[in-house]
Amino acid sequence: MLEAAGVTAVEEQVYGALVDSPADTAAAIATRLGLSFDETTAVLASLEAKGLMSRTADRTPRFLATPPDIAIEPLILQRQAELQETRRAVDELLRRYRASRRPREAAELVEVVVGRPAVAQRFQQLQRRAEREVLVLVKPPFAIPHEANDTELDLLARGVTARAVYERSVLETDGGSAAVARYVAAGEQARVVDELPVKFALIDGSEAFVPLTPDDPETEPTFMVVHRSGLLAALIALFESLWDRAFDLSALTARASGRPPRLAPADAQLVSLLLAGLTDKAIAGQLGLSIRTVHRRISALLDRAQVSTRLQLGWHAAQHGWLDGYGPAHAAGAAGPVGAVGPAGSAGPAGPAGSAGPVGSAGSAGPAGSRGGAD
C-alpha cells in the first residue's frame, strides 16, 4: 500500500508492527514477523533513514514509529516531485521526437504495429490514454475470450464514455450476449447491426486502431494507429453512420434506469435479442432455454401485444416502449429494427434503429482487446 511512496513491502510490514506495538526491540520484531534478525535490523536502518522511526539510547535500543501523518506525507511529496520531473523529461523527449520528424509529417499520420504482442501492448496503451470517449466496432474473430479484457470496465469506472456497435454474430457466439451484457451493465452503450464492414477502435476522436491484415489466425496481425487526418475523420463518420442505424442493446441487462419497465427482465432480454435479429435457436442458446420455451414465450408476447406476426411485435415493442427502463441509453419510443426478425425466427434485414444519446469505452473493447480481436 505504501510502495507508491517509496516504502517496500517488508518495510511497511515492520513499520506497521511498530505502529501496533511501540518500543519493541529488533529481536522482538523479528520474532513477531518471522524475519531473521539481520533482515530486521537492515529494514529498521532503512526506515530510520526515511524518517519513519527512531530508536532509544538504551544499550538494547527500542524502536518507535514516527506518526504516519508526519512520516508519510514528506515521502508522498517527494514522489510527486519525482513524477513531475519525469513528466518534464517526457515532454522534452516528445518535443525532440516531433522536431526530428517534421520533414516526414505525412508518415506520422499512420503508425504500423506488427505482431500479436506488440499489437496487444499498443492497444492497451491507447485505451488507458482515453480521457473522454472510446468508440468501437466489434466483430469476430477475437484474439482472446470476452472475459479476458477488463480494461473497458476500468475506463467506465473512471467516467470514460464507451459506445460499441456489435455485429450480430457476436451475440450468436457462445456466451456472447452475456459478455455484452456485462459491459452494458457497467455503463457501455451498445448497439447491434447485421454485419460490420470492418472493426476498429476510436480513442477520444484523435486516434484510431485499425487492422490492416485479414482475419487469419495463422498469420501475425498487423494494425495501424491513425492520427488526426482525413482518414480518421472518415472512420469517425463511418462509426456514427453505423451507430445511427443500429439497434439498441440496453435491455440485455436487467438493471433499471429509474423508469418502471414495461416488461420483466427476462422478457426484455428475449425481445432485445429477437429485435437484434437472432434466430430462435441462437436466442435459446444465449438465454439457456429450450427452443420450445422460447417459442412459448414469444407466443405469450404476441398475445400480450395482440398481434399475429413478429414484425408487428417489433413495431409494438418500439411504439409502446417495452424496453424503456432498461440500461442507461434506451430512448423512449425509439424505433428499433422491426424488420430484423422474420417468420419462425429466421434472420431478416435490419431496419434503422432509433437514436440514443451517448453514454461513457471501451474499454476495453477493440481490435486488440477481448472484443476486437488482434488477428
pLDDT tens, residue by residue, 343-362: 333 333 333 333 333 333 33
> CA torsion 221→222→228→229, rounded to 10°?
-120
CATH of the domain at 335: 1.10.10.10
pLDDT in tens, 138-163: 998 775 555 556 788 899 999 999 99
Question: Which residue would you say has higher pLDDT here, 341 or 311?
Answer: 311
Measured distance CA(106)–CA(350) in Å, rounded:
40
Q: Answer whether 0.75 is exceeded by the pTM.
A: no
**55 domain residue, yes or no:** yes
**352 domain residue, yes or no:** no
Indicate if 69 and 158 belong to the same structural domain: no
Here the cell at position 220 is 501475425
Here the cell at position 208 is 484510431
Indicate if 124 and 233 belong to the same structural domain: yes
**365 domain residue, yes or no:** no
Indicate if 27 and 84 belong to the same structural domain: yes
CB 245 within 8 A of CB 261: no
pLDDT in tens, 95-126: 887 777 665 566 678 889 988 888 888 988 99
Helix H or strand E encompassing 224: strand 222-226
**Mean pLDDT throughout 36-55?**
86
Look up the domain containing 170 and give its range. 108-246
How many helices and strands in the chain, by DSSP H and E?
14, 11
**258 domain residue, yes or no:** yes
Domain end marker among 43, 75, 100: 100
